[in-house]
């Protein structure tokens, strides 16, 4: 229960049920983040490498905002928590905060798994155009900060696959060991896929997008008539095409190294 409230992993309480509670809570976080990004139009100058020149940087405004934000949060200790994964892992400064004793749950090989490059490409090349409206209101810095909130929420959710894989492995090691020993990705992927659960998740996130994206008014007759702030079918597709498949990629990568 503490887990669902605090949205953080405790080794003692870690079961498939408690992980499931956290994954469900993270759906809300992702949908809130998308709704908040959708306040702004596309704002393409934020992604244009030739738009702004920041001293010492050659990329876009959003790359500048992500790298600088991650650098300062790294100093404040963010990435000492194994649940967090940076988008700009190279040249991150060390933490200046006192070390915190995060519970060690994962196999040490987990630290080498970071698929944020795939998440970054998915977000900017595919997802963004599906839930923002074309236009330009000049709020590029706020837009980039909103993008980072979306990216971090998606990254955290997808890399939670490490914890899910660990708990599944602990609960029935014999089921996974043969495929791990033979390094059989396809067999692992098959073991990790439960289509009926994936269908439920797709439906639930669409419903959440409808509930959280509605215009709430005191007059109940007026409620729910307006357009949702983010199209529920886009959120469903985000989970079906990207979040769940990428989570399984993380799980497979983790399990392949689980007996190292």
Catalog residues that contact its own copies under the rule CB under 8 A.
5-8, 24-25, 28-29, 32, 35-36, 39-41, 51-55, 61, 64-65, 68-69, 72-73, 75-78, 81, 84, 96-98, 100-102, 133, 135, 137-142, 144-145, 149, 200, 203-204, 207-208, 211-212, 214-218, 229
Write down the least CB distance from residue 246 to its own copies, Å.
21
Q: Which is nearer to its own copies, 161 or 232 (CB)?
A: 232
Tokens of 166: 């660990």
Q: 104-130: string of b/e by CB count within 10 Å (b at 16+)?
A: ebbbebbeebbbbeebbebbeeebbee
**Shorter beta-carbon distance to its own copies: residue 61 or 106:** 61
Q: Please, what is the minimum distance in Å from the beta carbon of residue 186 to its own copies?
A: 31
21 vs 5: CA distance, rounded Å: 9
Q: How many C-beta neighbours within 10 Å does residue 243 have?
A: 24
What's the closest the beta carbon of residue 23 comes to its own copies, in angstroms? 13
Closer residue to its own copies (CB): 138 or 178: 138
**Which tokens is 167 given?**
């708990």
3-state secondary structure 191-259: HHCCHHHHHHHHHHHHHHHHHHHCCCCCCCCCCCCCCCCCCHHHHHHHHHHHHHHHHHHHHHHHHHCCC
Nearer to its own copies, 187 or 234 (CB): 234
CB of 118 to its own copies, least distance (A): 22
């Amino acid at each position: 229960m503490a887990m669902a409230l605090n949205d953080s992993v405790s080794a003692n309480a870690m079961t498939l049920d408690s992980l499931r509670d956290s994954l469900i809570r993270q759906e809300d976080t992702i949908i809130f983040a998308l709704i908040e990004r959708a306040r702004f139009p596309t704002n393409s100058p934020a992604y244009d490498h030739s738009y702004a020149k920041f001293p010492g940087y050659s990329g876009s405004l959003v790359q500048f905002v992500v790298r600088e934000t991650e650098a300062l949060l790294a100093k404040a200790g963010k990435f000492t928590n194994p649940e967090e994964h940076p988008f700009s892992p190279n040249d991150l400064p060390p933490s200046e905060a006192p070390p915190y004793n995060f519970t060690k749950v994962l196999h040490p090989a987990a630290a080498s798994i970071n698929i944020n490059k795939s998440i970054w490409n998915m977000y900017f090349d595919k997802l963004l155009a599906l839930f923002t409206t074309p236009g330009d209101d000049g709020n590029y810095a706020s837009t980039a900060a909103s993008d980072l909130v979306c990216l971090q929420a998606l990254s955290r959710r997808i890399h939670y696959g490490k914890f899910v894989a660990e708990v599944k492995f602990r609960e029935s090691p014999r089921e996974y060991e043969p495929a791990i020993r033979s390094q059989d990705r396809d067999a692992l992927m098959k073991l990790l896929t439960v289509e009926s659960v994936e269908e439920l998740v797709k439906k639930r996130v669409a419903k959440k997008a409808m509930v959280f994206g509605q215009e709430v008014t005191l007059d109940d007759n007026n409620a729910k008539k307006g357009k949702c702030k983010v199209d529920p079918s886009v959120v469903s597709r985000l989970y079906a095409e990207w979040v769940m498949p990428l989570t399984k990629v993380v799980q497979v990568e983790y399990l392949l190294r689980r007996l190292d």
